[in-house]
Amino acid sequence: RVAMSFTLQVLGTASAMPSSDKNPSAQALTVSGRLFLIDCGEGTQQRMRQMHLSFLKVEAIFISHIHGDHIFGLFGVLSTMAMYNRLQDLHIFGPEALRPIIRFYLSYFADGNNYKIEFHEVNARSLTPIWESKNVKVSAFPLKHRIDCFGYRFDEVCTERMLEKRPAASYAYCSDTMPFPELALYLKGVRTIYHEATYTKELADKAPKYFHSTTVDAAQCALEAGAKMLLVGHYSSRVKDREIFELECKEIFANSRAVDDGDIIEID
């Protein structure tokens, strides 16, 4: 069997309120040596150091939306890249509302920057390709949240010879969203899905109010999409036992895992 080429490192699993052992949303995905960050909540750069991730090797950052628990770590990451004398261009993808935030950073904190930040507006109304390289194709898709919010899908680009030995790896990141019918269609064919599951069944009445999902919503979406594996996170601070999220998901979708900060997952 050819070695798997997608490695996910979980940098943050909390929702709006960080805890002593959980940072807000952030992930790192390595595809055949290429490093991508997905969301960048508070504490991202500390977690990157703990997990020995290079600030110089990050090729692109994909931001789902501009709520603070998904971007408050961005300035620190960008600043540290400059301190390491990064020279390579950095691509940042996100909603149009992120543009003035990056402009603010460049205006006030980028004196030492020797690298160029290239911002790419994401405005997907359905599954839309936004980036492609030799190894991976990245697509964006809309989510249903209080503000513009997008998910990201990573599909490995394989030769016919590679596909004879193993299926192409694929991963989708579904950040803050309430359930909606089209989401499972955007995720068709993805083998591993990360889907926020902010609330357990006991707290299900809160999900629609805040445009979030429950364990049941996440598991049902993975089932409808035909995924092989479901990862959940973005846990409400009201629930202290992470195992509850996993057990509730498994009632609907057996191969479910409630991820924790620091987890490293090989994705096939």
Q: Is the pTM of this model over 0.95?
A: yes
pLDDT for residue 1 is more than 80: no
pLDDT for residue 210 is more than 60: yes
Which backbone phi and psi does 152 adopt, to 5 degrees? Answer: -130, 140
Average pLDDT rounded to a whole number, residues 83-96: 97
Active site residue 69: yes
Q: Which of 21, 39, 69, 148 is catalytic?
A: 69
Q: In terms of pLDDT, which residue wins out, 134 or 84? A: 84
Q: Are 207 and 244 in contact (CB under 8 A)?
A: no
Q: Please give the full DSSP string across 150-206, using - where no structure is assigned.
A: EEEEEEE---HHHHHHSPPPEEEEE-S----THHHHHTTT-SEEEEE--B-GGGGGG
Mean pLDDT of the chain: 96
Question: Which of 30-34, 158-162, 211-215, 264-268 has the lowest average pLDDT?
Answer: 158-162
Question: Which of 100-109, 162-171, 175-184 has the lowest average pLDDT?
Answer: 162-171
- What is the model's pLDDT at position 134? 87
- What is the model's pLDDT at position 161? 87
Look up residue 202 and give its DSSP letter.
G
